[in-house]
Amino acid sequence: MRRAFHAGLCALVGVAGMAGSLVQRVPMTAANSSNPLEGSESARRAGAKLYARECAACHGANREGIGKAPRLLQPEVYAAPPGVLFWILRNGSLRRGMPSFAHLPEPQRWQIITFLRRRMPPEPSAGADSGGLGR
């Protein structure tokens, strides 16, 4: 009985430690970085191509999320400071299945962020689950 209680407690602590989205768990200092490509249409187009190559397999061609990968069409992504999104791309989160994209040069990571932030979200449908980035 005691062993079962201990195992259950460890599982609960593990789940609680993963609570919150990746956006919410990024260090505050990351938010200070600004996107040097913000507002660039050519960067947005390049970011769309990079997204299709690097991200769509997990997050979907239309950013709808596939399996455990969260939807990226949500206010949390649009409202996140560019530096927060850059930190997530650079560091990833292996516990949540998000790989690091540090292999991409910095300008390419900023292009993906430009694409993610410039594309307007669709109107939410009634009763739609908002989901959470990394939940």
The CATH number of the domain holding residue 61 is 1.10.760.10
Neighbouring CB atoms inside 10 A of 121's CB total 13
Task: Tell me whether residue 7 is in a domain.
Answer: no
Average pLDDT, integer, range 51-58: 96
Task: Tell me whether residue 16 is in a domain.
Answer: no
- Cβ atoms of 21 and 133 closer than 8 Å: yes
Q: Is the pTM of this model over 0.75?
A: no
Task: Tell me whether residue 90 is in a domain.
Answer: yes
Mean residue pLDDT of the chain comes to 78
Task: Tell me whether residue 103 is in a domain.
Answer: yes
Task: Tell me whether residue 97 is in a domain.
Answer: yes
130 pLDDT above the threshold of 80: no
128 pLDDT above the threshold of 80: no
Give the pLDDT of residue 113.
96
Task: Tell me whether residue 37 is in a domain.
Answer: yes
Q: How confident is the model at residue 74 (pLDDT cuts 50, 70, 90)?
A: confident
Residue 52 is part of which domain span?
22-118
Residues 38-74: b if buried by 16+ CB within 10 A, e if exposed: eebeebbebbbebbeebbeebbbeebebeeebbbbbb
Distance CA(66)–CA(79), nearest Å, equals 22
- Cβ atoms of 90 and 41 closer than 8 Å: no
Q: Alpha helices, DSSP H only, in the chain?
A: 2-17, 22-25, 41-54, 56-59, 75-79, 82-91, 106-118
Tell me how many domains the chain contains.
1
Q: Is the dihedral of CA 59, 89, 108, 105 positive or negative?
A: negative
Give the pLDDT of residue 1.
44
Average pLDDT, integer, range 16-28: 67
3 pLDDT above the threshold of 80: no
Share of the chain above pLDDT 90, in %: 50
Distance CA(21)–CA(126), nearest Å, equals 23
Give the pLDDT of residue 16.
31
5 pLDDT above the threshold of 50: no
- Cβ atoms of 70 and 116 closer than 8 Å: no
Task: Tell me whether residue 126 is in a domain.
Answer: no
Which residues make Cβ contacts (< 8 Å) with residue 28, sequence separation at least 6?
Answer: none
Amino acid at residue number 125? S
